[in-house]
A and B are shown apart, each in its own frame.
Chain A
């Protein structure tokens, strides 16, 4: 029969694992990761965007994506959101009469939707097979379809709703912006920035882009200033580094400073992103989530590593359970005898 002592021993072993789930985070805390020093990214300035969608078309071409028809006549590519076949889209904020550009009241504004290339991406943490990887140098979050099992945990994990699965195919892949990393070796940077006529989408090192964004925030709205287009050269860029990229280096022009929200979206969100955004309209109204500076990947991995780091906890609990089970499990006799140990 069970004695009280045995029962308590059982409680001890069995309860250990349950208690493990509430061990304070401090033990194996995993801090929010930071961007690599040479991180590449984009700066999107909504006040410069004219909504021409040239970047959407260029993205489709660069990534060999098919058109997505949403109108009855099936004449042109008209995706309503990013998808497994559309990695970049300009969305629109609309209010009231939509008279004024970049006004929250009775106005409209544009917002680019594409991968933010997070410093600490949820998709990379979520992926069980490392099909989503963050390049240690460029920080580009890349996808490898040959590794992917199609579980779509990355789709569920991303707070920007970016990785998307191709449900229309029996061999569907995940589709997302990879900053045109496949074109870099030929000297091409992100197609969206390459074609942007107003410099609303700018390609460069995130550090330089952040400095450029802060320069704009410091200027007076309405003032004229020089706006770069295409690729933003690095600060003190060496000629041999500049030669790596194709295209005219200086495409800058004079434009008026927008009436910005005093915040660079992506500077701190989820530990920072490599794609940064400026907007005159409130970022949440323009369609970007309000995110804390701590990444969910850090919270999730802290829990996982606290419980399973080095398999310490499971092995300790297993040892306890084995010890208790060894005492309590009695080999069964032939069923005919039954009833007696």
Chain B
């Protein structure tokens, strides 16, 4: 009965992602930079969800893997080629190894101690990137590409300008623009590269969710004791989940660097790790679609709300009488512009209090109210994969 569900979910998801530039244009989010961020942080959240959503291990260190991925990729740009493939491969390998090391140490503890350990590790990586590892990370300035870099696989560059990242000649910042019904649509190569990788990442995550491996990861979350006395060694399972999600983060870091070839230590800061946790919880931990949704919402707030300033607000409330206009602007002012994170915080609190299962729980409730069961909702699927 539910057999077709995953296929439908996959198709709908792919369609939504690929038509992103059209769907999001009316919301003012149809420009390449933001679309790329949606996709990249979607990948990050999908990967984080494999760890947190399935096993319940709350890691505060995933930004470190993001950073490792970015640095690896930029180094590939400097040494080998501006093609993004070698960079992505190295990023996945390096972040995987790094996750193996960190996971091996931190997974000795669970619950809050695990969170603190990962946090400490991420902060250590951040500080190292800033100080001791300057020869590799270029410290505060961040790692950038230069004209003088070797790039042994690329033909000699005589143009005098920095080469741009590409995928076998397709440049990441190539954009095809068109106008449709008064909307400015931008189809960007970089976005589509990220989008296809996001779809692939999503597919892998569905397979993991539906596999015996995924089942045992979910069992880790609900009762680790029982699992141990059922003859299952939980450590390699949690470690595998940790490494997989670390590799996802590394891939996301690689894409960040591919879209904009520089890597800085601030990408590894713990607040970044925190925002990954927010994305997943906001969307719905343990659901398939939730994390992507959460990542989208947070990046949207970051991009759109932060651009609303007092002038825009005055425009909005132009029709109101003078004193009311000033009053409304005064009320809304702290929530927009530089205060966008205040709005995000408020939204996050409302969702966690009223919809503990995140946006996906909201979607499910709405669907139940209208009498239809949302078959493609992963929250339901996850509970009855047996059918």
A binds B: no
Please give the residue numbers on chain B whose beta carbons come within 8 Å of chain A beta carbons, in ascending order.
none
Please give the residue numbers on chain A whose beta carbons come within 8 Å of chain B beta carbons, in ascending order.
none
